[in-house]
């Protein structure tokens, strides 16, 4: 497992004893996975927050705008409203028992979340490409930044899947470029996410997963988000609601190939997989 540290509001926090689990919190009714209506939106968020904490989430990852392929984004005003409501509930229910990450590509949402609610991490699917102010904003806020690989936007990204040098080489090159831009902007703590399902075909997702360990050349913590995604459901011809077992199997594979953080819908299963991986890793060393 990789040892790394993050500056969390001026305090250097060390990680690496065990992989981290980020529990997904959706304030968007357009989310692709809604196993229980009570789990999404204002009415059910408190329940989900409590469950994620009880099951061992290290990070609560809150999003107010679905980035499902082909789906248009909500307005900035609506996203700000949703995230503000979500953060109020998180602070009520979780306190400081987990780090809070904000899943947004908008710098205004990032600034509001950190300055008004003390959010700890910004998670940007576009790596700063969908808002030219994002990198400078994150640098000024002095928070860690999850930089994901994507091309275009959720509406057109699935038409942008050509990688002349192969998907792994293409993703590595483009991530390296975005990391360099983030560093130039003044961001110190960068976590990379290869962006499974974003501007990648089904076959490309699997090729990228098989080569996940090659991301080590970037010398950054790696977040993997494959929970219940179509790369699983299409490969196995199953529905999203039936994809927990397969998601857990793939999480275990990702951990063995260098993932440091798992972003998941089902915290308990991922926590158990991560803890067992850490136990095995101790014995291997």
Stated as kind and residue range, the H or E segment containing 191 is strand 190-193
Tokens coding 125: 């699917």
Would you mind telling me the total number of residues written for the chain in this entry? 285
Q: DSSP states of 31-51 as a string? A: -S--S-GGGSHHHHHHHHHHH
> Which residue in the list 82, 178, 220, 263 is annotated as catalytic?
263
> Which residue in the list 18, 111, 229, 268 is annotated as catalytic?
229
The yes-or-no answer on residue 151 being catalytic is no
The yes-or-no answer on residue 106 being catalytic is no
Query: Which burial class, exposed, middle or buried, applies to 47 when counting CB atoms under 10 A from its CB (0-12, 13-18, 19+)?
Result: middle
CA-based torsion, 256, 34, 235, 175: positive or negative: negative
**CA–CA separation, 103 and 272 (whole Å):** 24
Which residues in 160-186 are b (16+ Cβ under 10 Å) and which e? eeebeeebbebbbebbeebbeebeebe
Which amino acids are annotated catalytic? 229, 263
């Amino acid at each position: 497992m990789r040892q790394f540290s993050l500056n969390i509001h001026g305090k250097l926090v060390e990680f690496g004893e065990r992989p981290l689990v980020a529990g997904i919190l959706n304030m968007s009714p357009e989310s692709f996975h809604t196993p229980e209506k009570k789990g999404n939106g204002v009415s059910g968020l408190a329940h989900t927050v409590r469950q994620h904490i009880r099951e061992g989430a290290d990070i609560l990852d809150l999003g107010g705008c679905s980035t499902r392929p082909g789906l248009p984004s909500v307005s900035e005003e609506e996203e700000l409203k949703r995230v503000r409501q979500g953060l109020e509930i998180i602070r009520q229910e979780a306190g400081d028992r987990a780090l809070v990450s904000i899943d947004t590509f908008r710098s205004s949402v990032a600034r509001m979340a950190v300055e008004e609610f003390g959010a700890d991490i910004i998670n940007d699917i576009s790596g700063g490409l969908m808002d030219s102010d994002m990198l400078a904003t994150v640098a000024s806020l002095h928070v860690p930044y999850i930089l994901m690989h994507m091309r275009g936007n959720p509406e057109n990204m699935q038409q942008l899947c050509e990688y002349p040098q192969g998907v792994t080489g293409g993703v590595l090159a483009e991530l390296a470029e975005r990391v360099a831009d983030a560093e130039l902007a003044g961001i110190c703590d960068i976590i990379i996410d290869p962006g499974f399902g974003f501007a990648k075909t089904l076959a490309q997702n699997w090729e990228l997963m098989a080569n996940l360990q090659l991301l080590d050349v970037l010398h950054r913590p790696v977040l993997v988000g494959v929970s219940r995604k179509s790369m699983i459901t299409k490969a196995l011809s199953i529905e999203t609601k039936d994809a927990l077992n397969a998601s857990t199997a793939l999480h275990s594979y990702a951990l063995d190939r260098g993932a440091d953080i798992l972003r998941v819908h089902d915290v308990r299963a991922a926590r158990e997989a991560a803890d067992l991986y850490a136990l095995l890793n101790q014995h291997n060393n």
